[in-house]
Structure 1
Amino acid sequence: MLVGSDTGASHAARLAALDASGLDALILAGLPTGPRPAETAASDWEEELELRTACPTHRGRLTADSAFRRGALAGPPTPESPTLEGISVPVLGLHGAEDTVSPLGEVRRVFRGLPGAELVSLAGTRHDVLNDVTHRTAAATVVLFLERLRLDPGLTPIAVPEALA
């Protein structure tokens, strides 16, 4: 299992496309889709926090962490849109529906390029999809994906909503 978030997701996708030996699946969270939109250029720390997360706990932890590199969103952007071509393992994407750093529409386009890939958008969630107000939903989504993978590499659903009409 390889999990990456933000630029780590880009690196994980590239690695999986080059060599998936020993890899059962890939989870890509907040995948960047190329140069960051101009509106993500935060002028101060509070603006950067707004772009990253709505979770007050995560905001507090980022602010208190002296090792956290502030201004990273203004750093060198991903130069080009990633591709998922060549990836041969199951892929789960998690993405904030309110992510303005890496807009969901572009992420959908990237995920459409890989048959069988799953993309789950989380409502009310910004760029730090694993650490936003919906972090429990993100974790539950990962657990369900892993349970399906454990039972069947084809990812057959195991929790199926019943049609009541």
Structure 2
Amino acid sequence: MTPALLDRALVEEATKKSGLIWVRGTGTADRALWHVWHEGAAYVVGGGPGEQPLEGLADGGTAEVTVRSKDKGGRLVAWTASVSEVAPHGELWEAVAAELKGKRLNAPDGEAVTGRWARECRVLRLAPASVRTAMPSDSLAARPVETPATTREPIPAALPKLLRKRRRR
């Protein structure tokens, strides 16, 4: 086997087994996205209300994808992806949407989720273009993305006592 085929196999297996991939689009920070692997590419859905944000990922653009180990959490492989949007209701879209629907947790509209995706969201194909075999030596740690979500108040003082009582029973 050639090194290129081995790299391709590593990308496919690591991405299939990982629940999340870290994606950096044009001008954005790395963002964790859930995905499915289908016929040689990772597919993500989002960009609409209640779905994962896909800022910086444009049809015809590129993205940097990092795949982590499912058990240890360390980086396994990083690859450059060519980004393309899948047109709603086509044969490919229907196949990918069915797989994505199976991985979508707690969809507010249940079985009708694919109809909402067709109306309000984008399904993107992230096809591997090149593989980086040399990993960076620094941590690549970054500040979390700004969000309006906050904790409303501190944990009540009695909570640790209540939790200890439950363990004794």
TM range (shorter): under 0.3
Higher helix share: 1
Higher strand share: 2
Alignment TM-score, normalising by the size of structure 2: 0.24
